[in-house]
Amino acid sequence: MVSATLLLAVSTLVPVPPPAPIPGDEGASLPPRDAESGEVYYQRECALCHGLKGEGTSRGSPLRRTNPYYGTSTIREGRTNSKPYDIPMPSYSEQDLPKKKLAEIWSFLRKESVSRSGEGLYNSYCMNCHGIKGEGGITGISLKNKQQVLGLWIRFGGGDDITHIETYMPSFNQLELSDEEIGLISEFLK
């Protein structure tokens, strides 16, 4: 105990020199936050929970193919009911995250290729809300044995209040998910 107290006292009296510069990096500095790209902003603010490329982690859901309208609402409002994640999602105002930078983030997250298997498509487009293998996830709505209505839900969505994840479903057009891809997702969920 005495040695730890002594070390603490000495460390507050002895100035610590700044770290040595990295060779070849003389005069380099970080860009101002308002000049950084959406990808850099994402890496700084989002990657810890949502993964380096939006793949998701144990702390936060995957974002790669999140509907931007729904995702933007979640970003602006935050999320306190984040099951199965224990960490609430903070809100980011337009001042914190301007529209242009947010659009850059969505573009960055969509660069990653999507597996064209039923499982890969499901994981990219559906798992964020409906959980692993369609068991219900944060929505509480299981997709198991819902093949007859799944295509309609995906194509037309449902609900009108985007802030209520339990009743809102975004729609996905033919360019986002083809009928064939919806069929692959349906087969995966059987």
> How far is the CA of 82 from the CAs of 10, 61, 72, 126, in angstroms?
45, 9, 16, 16
| Tens digits of residue pLDDT in 35-48 | 688 999 999 999 99
115-190 shares the fold of 35-112: yes
Per the CB < 8 A criterion, the answer to whether 46 and 36 are in contact is no
What is the full DSSP assignment across 41-59? HHHHHTHHHH-TTS---SS
**What per-residue confidence (pLDDT) applies to 82?**
64
**What per-residue confidence (pLDDT) applies to 33?**
57
CATH topology classification for 35-112: Cytochrome Bc1 Complex; Chain D, domain 2 (1.10.760)
- Taking 70 as the threshold, does the pLDDT of residue 83 lie above it? no
pTM: predicted TM-score of the whole model, two decimal places: 0.58
Q: Round the CA-based radius of gyration of the chain to a whole number and report it.
A: 22
Per the CB < 8 A criterion, the answer to whether 160 and 167 are in contact is no
Domain boundaries, the chain: 35-112, 115-190
**Which is more confidently placed, 39 or 83?**
39
Give me the mean pLDDT over the 80-109 stretch. 87
The CATH number of 115-190, from 1.50.10.10, 2.40.50.140, 3.30.70.420, 1.10.760.10, is 1.10.760.10
Say which range, 27-41, 88-102, 158-172, has the weakest mean pLDDT. 27-41
